[in-house]
Amino acid sequence: MAQTSIFKTLATGLVLAALPLGAAVAESIKIGEINHYKRMAAFAEPYKQGIELALEEINGDGGVLGQELEFVFRDDQGEPGEAIKIAEELMTREGTAMITGTILSNVGLAISSLAAEKGYVYLASEPLADSLVWGSGNPYTFRLRASTYMQAAMLAEEAAKTDAVKYATIAPNYAYGKDAVAAFKENLQRLKPEVEFVAEQWPGVFKIDAGAEVQALERAKPDAIYNVTFGPDLAKFVREGTDRGLFDGRQVYGLLSGEPEYMDPLGEEAPEGWVVTGYPWYDLTDGPAGAFVSAYQAAYDDHPRIGSLVGYMTVQSIAAALEAAGSTETEALREAFEGLTVETPMGEITYRAIDNQSTAGAYVGTTTVRDGQGVMVDWVYKDGADYLPSDEEVQALRPAE
């Protein structure tokens, strides 16, 4: 009997050794998550908490395809080269089913290029550059957030309703900023052809010389200003512009400027009267949006940021794609994402098959200060599907596959 048991054990070991790596013990489905956790901790940590909240809920409800869903978190230090190196390791050593993450667009574009080269699914959760799904789009890259084009189009729609004709712009000098200015110009001039742009300022990301930028904008004497700066650059621009009276008597349109990540640090110094895209979590009390806010506050004793919501929706999207695919096989997963519909705190969103862009929208409102804190008022949620180019325009923008 003992000899028989030994032979059985050896035989079993040989069978397990012959199976593909990870097939012998399929305890979880791994997803590679790459982000700038040290360099942009104030933005990446709420995003990670949103992911962890969704994972807790999904795994508590039985997981996905009968397995636990697991995220393998890696820090790329905000460097494209480091992100590519990590992505390759996640694909091979860690045996992840797909890759997600990144905030900065240049990093997202680098991972997207690698995904196309390797034939590996990448869900760009936060990068906003339009080229991610259009000019540099590929079959393996999908994007969750409303792109720069979509959010700029929403702001241009509001700007077209005013008497302002002369506009100045300020945006970080990289893919996201360039796309955001181009999209605002295109949409505003289509809606109001008489508009002219009298000045453009392009500070390096997180390297703004706010005094010089404000002086340059003031010299141009615009009727209105379109701002795309974010993070510490936004805080410096707001403070310097307020001190020098740049915003007095001028309407300002701010892409992302109403997001808690950027408004919270300003406190009572937050700008008032800007028309912005953002996230009014403090007013969301009903339905799936309110349920998410309540669950997040209960889990972390803190309020959600837009990154928290994006992280949560990232997990929802991946879980839905895995269920639709019925497996973790790359091509099945890629095909499942095309046309995928997901129920989220923002409502139902769809990943369009034509360009892999989701129809997630954005909240648009006006900034004010309430109880010593910047908030959005008179806001509305705008469906992203209403602010996307036509199929014909997308086909012209996107490279042939």
pLDDT digits (tens, 9 = 90+) for 267-285: 999 999 999 999 999 999 9
Mean pLDDT score of the chain: 92
Look at residue 2 and tell me whether its pLDDT is greater than 60: no
Domain count, the chain: 2
Mean pLDDT of 184-191: 97
Distance (Å, whole) CA 57 – CA 348: 19
Query: Given this model, what pLDDT does residue 221 score?
Result: 97
Which pLDDT score is estimated for 353? Answer: 96
Q: Which domain holds residue 153?
A: 149-281+363-387
Quote the distance between the C-alpha of residue 155 and its chain's center. Answer: 18
Amino acid of residue 281: W
Residues 59 and 204 in one domain: no
Are 58 and 200 found together in one domain?
A: no
Is pLDDT at 19 greater than 70 in this prediction?
no
pLDDT of residue 401: 65
The pair of structure tokens assigned to 298 is: 């209960």
| pLDDT-above-90 percentage for the chain | 88
- The answer to whether residues 162 and 94 belong to one domain is no
12 lies in a domain? no
**Given a cut of 50, is residue 303 above it in pLDDT?**
yes
Same domain, 168 and 188: yes
The answer as to whether 7 is a domain residue is: no
142, 337 Cβ separation under 8 angstroms: yes
pLDDT over threshold 50, residue 18:
no
Kindly report whether the global pTM for this prediction surpasses the value 0.95: no
Residue 20: inside a domain: no
Q: Residue 26: which pLDDT band, with cuts at 50, 70 and 90?
A: low
- Determine, yes or no, domain membership for 393: no
Distance of CA 147 to the CA centre of its chain: 8
Whether the predicted pLDDT of 3 surpasses 80: no
The total of other beta-carbon atoms located within 10 Å of residue 219's CB is 11
Confidence of residue 13 (pLDDT cuts 50, 70, 90): very low
Give tens-digit pLDDT for 88-123.
Answer: 999 999 999 999 999 999 999 999 999 999 999 999
